[in-house]
Amino acid sequence: MAEGAHSERLSLGDPNSFSRPEDCVITDLSLDIEVDFGRKVVKGKGTYTCKRVSVGADVLILDTDRLTISRVYCKDSSTDLQFTLADPVDKFGSKLQIILLSTFSSEFEICIDFENSPTSEGLQWLEKEQTAGKRHPYMFSQFESIMARTVLPCQDTPSVKHPYRAKVTVNKALTVLMSAVPQGSAAASDDKVTYEFFQKIPIPSYLIAIAVGDLVSRKIGERSKVWTEPEMLDAAAYEFAETDTMLKTAEDLCGPYIWGVYDLLVLPPSFPFGGMENPCLTFVTPTLLAGDRSATSVIAHEISHSWTGNLVTNKNWEHFWLNEGHTVFVERKIVGRMYGEQHRQFAMIGGWTALYEAVKDFGETHGFTHLVPDLTGSHPDDAFSRVPYDKGAALLFYIESQVGGADAMEGWLKAYVQKFKGQAITTDEWKDFLYSYFATQHDALNKIDWQNWLYSPGMPATKPVYDQTLFTACETLANHWLAGTDLPQDSAVFDGFSTNQKVAFLSTLLIKDPMPVDRVLQMGALYRLPGVNNAEIKTRWLQLCLRAGSDSQLDATLKFVTDVGRMKFLRPIYKDLYKLDSVRQQAINTFIANRPQMHRITAKMVAEDLHLNE
């Protein structure tokens, strides 16, 4: 367990939330907030509709983290309500307890006046100099997994879902976007404007999202616009042109898209993830703007979350694989339908390699390599890795092979979404439904070693069988370089690879023992790797050099970790820099110099990777 960790489960249902939705639960939320760029805070009022679920419940418990609560009161009578804000419990924030009036009926409405802290992890504030246009400041949120509580009081557990409405007031030069359907805007004063939003579908707190900046949009599909700062609009519209086709393919697999609009927002470089499935408005990293439409899998992934994750949601973060494993499975189904089944199988092989790397990184007996980990006392972000994604997707692929193939599994997928949409579920509920759907195939299901797949560390005991067609060429070329024999004289084979094959080739080299420095550099020169801009390729090339003990690419490496904010690229490189004695101190210095510009989540995770918190 991490140092200073809280060793008790905060609540029975969710180890990472103080709330007690089984006693009293939020059923609707209305926000009336102002975004104050001067003080870097969001402040305002939340109106919460609540329902008493257990008869004797006399408190409402909410999660908060570094929030100032100035007043809690009844909506209609404006009577003040008593509340206590407990001392913070290390990484989980402070429990807010509101004493309910005995006169409340089973449904009641309360208001909370609150303000968050400029140090909240859930928001990043950029000065205008840090934006592409350099004319206006920018602010964006990232609430998954447990950061919503750093911006607003809420039951910060994915088991609680409710609609939300919001009125957001900002300086009139700025545009506000949220994870909801926009309802228009109106002048609030001479220099301020108020935007309105409505998300009518019940969602968990981690899917509330906001971005404010100098934002413009272009239509890219029937239901879709792409939003960016003006400087990136053309590139973004080009890169994401396949969005509409993917949405239709996803509907074919999962059922109707019920969220109304599906827009994309390209964030500034410090956005910590590849993509985030905020409803109606997926957030994406600008590293996707590679100019080659190679980001297909990220968009297919976030679109898929519209069903797996946003409709059928993990009940707490221990069941995160229900969100991510299923979403990777659907993402690759979309890829298979659009580009052919071989591409799906090829992506599954890449996932197996990524899982292998993650298991090696944690250590093969580590608790976070369980598909369903125990998060008591742990922050979900510390457990984050490819394990829920790729052990999860591999399990679903393996089930597919046991129950009669792709068609059978597609039938199950639709039925699964239909059965659990609007709910938050656990792995047991998932498994019970699997058994009831495949009622005539219990013999096949019983052959699956559930204990091993779900609750054991390390690689799964069984590897599913994947079609090797697209992978074989990558592996063959990698084997030549690893053996150092029959090395290619020209770059023809490599140049003939798709971007994904180049990534698979480099990943295959990375999971093996490092090659001698000379050979790595010879390969880099032959394939012109130092000049590549695609971040997936570049990350692996820089890692190969570091693992070979070479600091020849150090300048490029330190520049890359300064320019790019996506943790998928930043963290592996920082980890490898740390392992190499000759560059460790320079890496630490670079991080310390950049830290003020970095996203708080990224800075926290990299600090751990560089062992700076010990």
Residues carrying an active site annotation: 302, 389
Q: Of 227, 262, 384, 527, which lies in the binding site for ligand BES, with binding defined by CB under 6 A?
A: 384
Question: In this complex, which beta carbon is closest to ligand BES, that of residue 195 or of residue 384?
Answer: 384
DSSP state of 70: E
Q: Of 93, 153, 158, 275, which lies in the binding site for ligand BES, with binding defined by CB under 6 A?
A: 275
Q: Of 239, 277, 390, 576, which lies in the binding site for ligand BES, with binding defined by CB under 6 A?
A: 277
Binding range to Zn ion, per CB under 5 A, among 33-41, 214-222, 250-258, 325-333: 325-333
Question: In this complex, which beta carbon is closest to ligand BES, that of residue 98 or of residue 504?
Answer: 504
Contacted by 121, from ligand BES, Zn ion, none: CB < 5 to 8 Å by type: none
C-alpha angle with apex 310: 304 to 311, nearest 5 degrees?
95
H or E stretch covering 59 = strand 59-64
CB of 282 to ligand BES, least distance (A): 9
Distances (CA, A) of 543 to 135, 195, 329, 433, 578: 36, 45, 28, 43, 12
Contact status: 144 vs ligand BES (CB under 6 A): yes
Question: In this complex, which beta carbon is closest to ligand BES, that of residue 285 or of residue 550?
Answer: 285
CB of 547 to Zn ion, least distance (A): 28
Binding range to Zn ion, per CB under 5 A, among 54-62, 74-82, 172-180, 322-330: 322-330
Binding range to Zn ion, per CB under 5 A, among 278-286, 324-332, 481-489, 535-543: 324-332
Question: In this complex, which beta carbon is closest to ligand BES, that of residue 108 or of residue 368?
Answer: 368
By CB under 6 A, the count of residues binding ligand BES is 16
Taking the C-alpha atoms of residue 564 and residue 546, their distance in angstroms, rounded to an integer, is 18
Binding range to ligand BES, per CB under 6 A, among 47-55, 275-283, 455-463, 541-549: 275-283
Contacts of 59 (CB under 8 A, 6+ apart): 23, 24, 97, 98, 99, 100
Taking the C-alpha atoms of residue 526 and residue 480, their distance in angstroms, rounded to an integer, is 14
Question: In this complex, which beta carbon is closest to ligand BES, that of residue 206 or of residue 416?
Answer: 206
Taking the C-alpha atoms of residue 437 and residue 419, their distance in angstroms, rounded to an integer, is 10
C-alpha angle with apex 234: 228 to 238, nearest 5 degrees?
105
CB of 435 to Zn ion, least distance (A): 26
CB of 118 to Zn ion, least distance (A): 29
Contacted by 275, from ligand BES, Zn ion, none: CB < 5 to 8 Å by type: ligand BES
Contact status: 145 vs ligand BES (CB under 6 A): yes
Question: In this complex, which beta carbon is closest to Zn ion, that of residue 335 or of residue 561?
Answer: 335
Taking the C-alpha atoms of residue 386 and residue 397, their distance in angstroms, rounded to an integer, is 16
Taking the C-alpha atoms of residue 438 and residue 445, their distance in angstroms, rounded to an integer, is 8
Q: Of 220, 276, 424, 561, which lies in the binding site for ligand BES, with binding defined by CB under 6 A?
A: 276
Cis peptide before 105 (omega within 30 of 0): no
Q: Which of 83, 115, 87 is nearest to 99 (CA)?
A: 83
Distances (CA, A) of 315 to 27, 160, 208: 16, 8, 17
Contact status: 13 vs ligand BES (CB under 6 A): no
Question: In this complex, which beta carbon is closest to ligand BES, that of residue 294 or of residue 557?
Answer: 294
The contact pattern for ligand BES, residues 161-180, with x = CB under 6 A and - = no contact, is --------------------
Q: Which of 495, 578, 577, 567 is nearest to 535 (CA)?
A: 567
CB of 302 to ligand BES, least distance (A): 6
CB of 150 to ligand BES, least distance (A): 13
Distances (CA, A) of 58 to 72, 81, 100, 103: 15, 12, 5, 11
Residues in 291-330 that interact with ligand BES by CB under 6 A:
297-298, 301-302, 305, 324
Residues in 530-569 that interact with ligand BES by CB under 6 A:
568
Contacted by 229, from Zn ion, ligand BES, none: CB < 5 to 8 Å by type: none
CB of 426 to Zn ion, least distance (A): 19
| Strands 192-203, 181-187: pairing kind | antiparallel
Binding range to ligand BES, per CB under 6 A, among 93-101, 179-187, 272-280, 479-487: 272-280
| Strands 313-314, 424-425: pairing kind | parallel
The CB density around residue 220, as the number of other CB atoms within 10 Å, is: 21
Please say whether the dihedral angle defined by the alpha carbons of residues 219, 223, 229 and 231, taken in this order, is positive or negative.
Answer: negative
Q: Of 13, 274, 377, 464, which lies in the binding site for ligand BES, with binding defined by CB under 6 A?
A: 274
Q: Of 273, 321, 346, 574, which lies in the binding site for ligand BES, with binding defined by CB under 6 A?
A: 273
Q: Which of 533, 542, 477, 538 is nearest to 505 (CA)?
A: 477
Q: Which of 569, 480, 566, 558 is nearest to 522 (CA)?
A: 480
Please say whether the dihedral angle defined by the alpha carbons of residues 584, 557, 508 and 609, taken in this order, is positive or negative.
Answer: positive
Contacted by 276, from Zn ion, ligand BES, none: CB < 5 to 8 Å by type: ligand BES
CB of 309 to ligand BES, least distance (A): 7
CB of 382 to ligand BES, least distance (A): 11
Say which residue the tokens 């996803």 belong to.
Answer: 250
Taking the C-alpha atoms of residue 186 and residue 188, their distance in angstroms, rounded to an integer, is 6
Contacted by 145, from ligand BES, Zn ion, none: CB < 5 to 8 Å by type: ligand BES
Which positions touch ligand BES (CB under 6 A)?
A: 144-145, 273-277, 297-298, 301-302, 305, 324, 384, 389, 568
Which positions touch Zn ion (CB under 5 A)?
A: 324, 327
